[in-house]
Structure 1
Amino acid sequence: MTEPTFKTVPDDGEPLRILVVGAGRMARLWLRAILASPDTALAGLVDIDPAAAEKALAETGAPDVPTGPGLTALAAATSPDAVVDVTVPAAHLPVTLEALALGLPVLGEKPLAVTLPEALRLAAAAELAGELFMVSQSRRYHPHLFTFKQQVGRLGRLGILTTEFFKAPHFGGFRDAMAHPLLLDMAIHPFDTARWLLNAEPVSVRCEEYNPGWSWYVGAAAATAVFEMTGGSRYIFTGSWCSPGLETSWNGAWRLSGEHGSITWDGDHPATVEMTPGKDVDRAAGRMWTTAEPAKGVAGSLAEFVHALRTGTVPMGEVHDNVMSLAMVTGALESVLTDRRIRMDDLLDAALADALESATGPERDLLCSRAPLSSSRSCTRAPGSGPA
């Protein structure tokens, strides 16, 4: 894949004007981050429930900015520079498509989309619009994790990266009723971080999911996944959302084993490195995408989004890259449902064929240009016409 390019927003000395879409719980975090940053200003808040928008503004101490139920109408009234999408996952596709069609770059909450075919459509739409679409993987933005990343190059060839994640939260609400709560709501964070730390992509996955007898979740609250990664390394995730006692950090507990040493990180404190004496190698191999120590969490995502728009620098979480993090979740779930090892190439080919069934116009033409032979038959007939 060629390096993505997108339109920049020239720095005129004024803050980047942000239109937020969605006034739920996560919107509070984003509103506070936008208000706290000297580089951003809140232009308005979109929500289908006007009362919810007014409540979110009041609870976060936001200024009196315009609100409304529709993105297009409020964008016309406020002239924002960019959109932050904190709607529910099912709305990510229509909201992002609408914003891109308006010529507005988008910073969206994870997951990129509900399904992998929708994610491929959004990647194509961003490319056609020439606008930045970045997905906030906010747990990457942690000073200790960036230090971990800087040390990776010392280890030489990488062998095994593991994450242990054990918590016992009583959320109530939708998570307790989900069919696959850990995989669908949480696992994308460590999966995405693993790609970044290893500088590698998933090749295949074998995953098992289970629900302990004492679990208060309807769906399986525990899972173990083994990913083969490019370069021959392995990433192993094991975790549970119903494991009281000796709980890990919300960031998980990490260990990376390489040719010349190992790194461990408990998720909260500085990482620990132990090297074989005399075996240090060039640290540059573990360089980060950004060089400065990041702001933490959502603030870090927002700062990188602004920097990308001002400079044209491709940020972490750019849509084409983030597709592969969603693919890890999708592949793990497919492995659970089919009880077999899933090859990522097969998964992506099937997702592309499905995307072609719903895409139209230039978006569909672009997807067809990327389609492998196994999916090319979908390009010879009209979308939605059924099997040839």
Structure 2
Amino acid sequence: MSFRTIESEGPLRLVVVGAGGMGRAWAHTIKADPDAELVGMADLYVEAAESAAADTGIPGLAVGTDAVELARRVGADAIVNATIPEAHHPVTIAALHAGFPVLGEKPVAATVAEGLSLAATAEHTGQLFMVSQSRRYHPALHQAKRQVAGLGTVGIVAVDFFKSPRFGGFRDEMASPLLLDMAIHQFDMARFLLDADPVSVSCEEYNPGWSWYAGDAAANAVFAMEGGARFTYNGSWCSPGHETSWNGSWRISAERGSVLWDGENDPSTDPDEETEPGDDPGREIAGSLREFIAAVRHGREPMGRVHANIMSLAMVEAATQSASQGRRVAIDDVLDRSYDAALATERDAETLGVLKSWPTVREALSPQEERH
């Protein structure tokens, strides 16, 4: 699955759509990267776009209410989609059809079905759509992966995640705030550490009596992964005291030893495992941006390409279904139901044709070398 590259000279010219907190974070990250240039801010509310543009300190930064119109007007090369999850699908669809590659905030879309539509649209248009799963970009996470590689077969990846943020706003009212808004980070990191996709999950959600969230803010999940390993997630968003990092606290158990990582500092291995230093992946969204630029400039396959990233959202949907239904849920059942929903709702004939050409969803989402 190749995608079109951009051969223009100079920094990659980017428009950010979505002028909220993440949009502003992206704007400042782009401004700080010498290989990128922020050329516009878009938002449905032009006043929000104007405020975010002023916040960048870039004189005369262009603004607009429509990302595609703005990108065309200023001669942008690509679009960064930092809108709310419900807007990820329509905004990215419009950009891809207009000929712009897209770097989008997680999750890929509000539902797996919408994610499948986006993957098919990216194939049809030949444009790159990369999802910024930002917590993959941490040097210590990559170091932990290198260290465990010398310990034989991995059997267990376990993470504890305990924080007590008081966000206010929509998260306090969500039905499943932890699973829907945060757990995808750790789910995705587990896929990265194991180089494996999920097979099934058993999950329970609950809410401690002191919780300030209306919905369940704590969860335990056990995922069976390809190759036989288990990934266990134990998390809470209402646990003050001795809090973990935002990345969580990890234990990776293999046949000849284990790796511990506190989510911030260098991991430790027992027995001690000497590893060669690897390339610096960058930190969080700055790392995502750097990889996106390398992808569209040189055709390098990025970690967060839409096809690969959909599996992380599928883990979230499967976990919430398991918790609500009180039973183990197979990931392929989630994928198959989502595929049927995507077929039923897709209105673009070419994209529908791509969806219908897929032999199975799992095969369509697998890396190219596994599809031939």
Asked if Structure 1 and Structure 2 have the same fold, meaning a TM-score greater than 0.5 normalized by the shorter chain, the answer is yes
1:152 deviates by 2.1
1:295 deviates by 1.8
1:242 aligns with 2:230: no
1:84 aligns with 2:72: no
Match of 1:186 in 2: 182
1:301-348 residue CA offsets vs partner (Å, 9 max, x unmatched)? 000000111110110110000010011001101101111101111111
CA RMSD of aligned residues (A): 1.6
- State the SS of the aligned residue for 2:59: coil
1:185-233 residue CA offsets vs partner (Å, 9 max, x unmatched)? 0000000000000011100000000000010000000000000000000
Match of 1:64 in 2: 60
1:371 deviates by 5.4
1:132-182 residue CA offsets vs partner (Å, 9 max, x unmatched)? 100001111111111112212111101000000001111111111111000
Contact 2:123–2:354 (CA<8 Å) still a contact in 1?
Answer: no
1:221-252 residue CA offsets vs partner (Å, 9 max, x unmatched)? 00000000000000000010011111111110
1:316 aligns with 2:303: yes
Quick one: which of 28, 31, 44 aligns to 1:32? 28
Which one is further off, 324-333 or 140-149? 140-149
Superposed, 1:359-370 pairs within 5 Å as 359-360=346-347, 361-370=349-358
Contact 1:161–1:256 (CA<8 Å) still a contact in 2?
Answer: yes
Superposed, 1:14-25 pairs within 5 Å as 14-25=10-21
1:174 aligns with 2:190: no
- State the SS of the aligned residue for 1:356: helix
1:329 aligns with 2:316: yes
Residue identity opposite 2:343 in structure 1: L
1:104-143 residue CA offsets vs partner (Å, 9 max, x unmatched)? 0000000100001000000000011111100001111111
Superposed, 1:1-388 pairs within 5 Å as 4-10=1-7, 12=9, 14-275=10-271, 292-360=279-347, 361-370=349-358
In structure 1, list runs of 5 or more residues that go unmatched: 374-388
Query: CA 1:11–1:67 in 2, change beyond 3 Å: closer, same or farther?
Result: closer
1:372 deviates by 5.0
- State the SS of the aligned residue for 2:227: helix
CA distance in 2, matches of 1:79, 1:58: 20
Contact 2:223–2:230 (CA<8 Å) still a contact in 1?
Answer: yes
In structure 2, list runs of 5 or more residues that go unmatched: 362-372
TM-score by length of 2: 0.94
TM-score by length of 1: 0.90
Residue identity opposite 1:353 in structure 2: D
Aligned structure 1 segments of 4 or more residues deviating by more than 2 angstroms: none
Contact 1:17–1:40 (CA<8 Å) still a contact in 2?
Answer: yes
CA distance in 1, matches of 2:91, 2:217: 30
1:11 deviates by 5.5
CA distance in 2, matches of 1:262, 1:204: 24
CA distance in 2, matches of 1:294, 1:371: 34
Query: CA 1:163–1:74 in 2, change beyond 3 Å: closer, same or farther?
Result: same
CA distance in 2, matches of 1:259, 1:99: 47
- State the SS of the aligned residue for 1:216: coil
